[in-house]
Amino acid sequence: MKRNFFIGALIWIVMFSSSVSAKQIKIIFATGGIGGVYLYYGTQIAAIITENTPYQATAIQTAASIDNNLLLRDKTDPEKGIYFCETSLPDSAYVAYTGTHKLFKEKPAPSRILWMMYPNYLQIVTTADRGIKTVKDLAGKRVSTGAPGSGTEFTAMLVLKAAGVKPDSFKKWEKLGAKESTEALSNGTIDAYFWSGGLPTGSIVELATTLKRRNKTISFVSIPKDSDVVKYFDKNFSGLAEPGVISKGVYESKSDTPTIRFWNWVLAPKSLPDNVAYDMVKAVFTHLDQLHRAIKPASMTTAENTAKFIGKTTIPFHPGAIKYFKEIGAVK
């Protein structure tokens, strides 16, 4: 009798401890700035996780990818149950994980992939009357390369390097986020800006509408498949970037524009417990309808689109995520 009572009490203590522990866990999603997709995507998945798991999840505004990888690395505190997850461009996550970026050389980011979000398209935005057709045409112009610490800025600098264009050659060099860049182009204080985001990006849709009212047409800088930029990314970031097209119907531009695109990732720290990662992924993927309704680019967030990358990335997938995708039969 005493033995049964002891076992029952022990089970109750373990269950109670697990419950308290789960409630104490805080998931913080580092996302991006106003005007981009990351912030809204992160807010939605945080809400889904909070509503459908024992964990409290929130999303915070950041400068995006590089900043997010720093937060994942430096602010995660397992002893306090605090885990910084993130949305990120793959090239930014790659250099953070491998320590090939100056900010991560001494201490790489211990990241693990949870799932694929949607493809980010490099969008170098301008107007048809500026006469900017190629990356080389940006020399001598007023250009924004993205917010400091953002994945857009990191990609922009790589693109310029590949094309042989130095930022010092700009007539004016700005470092603005998505919302600030659209306002600057609309107001005529810059000629073009870099943005890496899903199609469509809300702030660019608004910009196209504003320009149309002023009898101007939005335009995008072309990056053809045979360009030095594509060759550079193929050589240095094999498997992370691929050719893409900004169709003219997306923003009512005059023509389709070839560019490069990258699949965005949701990442977690290696220290995130397997069961927590599993619960998070299961919650999101069993409520994809909610995510798809809220975020248009999120229609590309599917188990099939994630499964085809498992086992093929430099950054490993989190074991908790793999368990879920195997459980539903997406991977063997």
Q: How far is residue 15's CA from residue 219's CA, in Å, rounded to a whole number?
A: 59
Q: Poorest-confidence range of 3-17, 109-123, 297-311?
A: 3-17
Among the ranges given (61-65, 66-70, 206-210, 240-244), the one the predictor scored with the smallest mean pLDDT: 240-244
pLDDT for 294 equals 95
Bigger pLDDT: 234 vs 221: 221
When pLDDT is cut at 50, 70 and 90, the band that residue 36 belongs to is confident
Name the region of 146 (left: φ>0; alpha: ψ -120 to 50; beta: rest). left
The structure's pTM equals 0.82
d(CA 291, CA 48): 8
Can you tell me the distance from the alpha carbon of 63 to that of 148, in angstroms, rounded to the nearest whole number?
Answer: 7
Instruction: Report the alpha-carbon angle 124-244-295, nearest 5.
Output: 80
Q: What does the pLDDT look like over 139-188, one tens digit per residue?
A: 999 999 999 988 899 999 999 999 999 999 999 999 999 999 999 999 99
Classify domain 120-263 at the CATH superfamily level: Periplasmic binding protein-like II (3.40.190.10)
Structure confidence by residue, pLDDT tens digits, 76-108? 999 999 999 999 999 999 999 999 999 999 999
**With b meaning 16 or more CB within 10 Å and e meaning fewer, what string describes 182-210?**
bbbbbeeebbbbbbbbbbbbbbbbebbeb
CATH code of domain 2-118+265-327: 3.40.190.10
Given CA atoms 231, 233, 239, 242 in this order, what sign does their dihedral have? negative
Share of the chain above pLDDT 70, in %: 94
Report how far residue 39's alpha carbon sits from residue 61's, in angstroms, rounded to the nearest whole number: 6
Query: Within 13 A of 276's CA, how many CA atoms are on the CB side?
Result: 26
Rounded-to-integer distance, Cα 202 and Cα 159, Å: 23
Return the pLDDT at 240.
Answer: 82
Domain boundaries, the chain: 2-118+265-327, 120-263
- Sign of torsion, CA 47 48 54 60? negative
CB-neighbour burial class of residue 92 (10 A; exposed 0-12, middle 13-18, buried 19+): buried
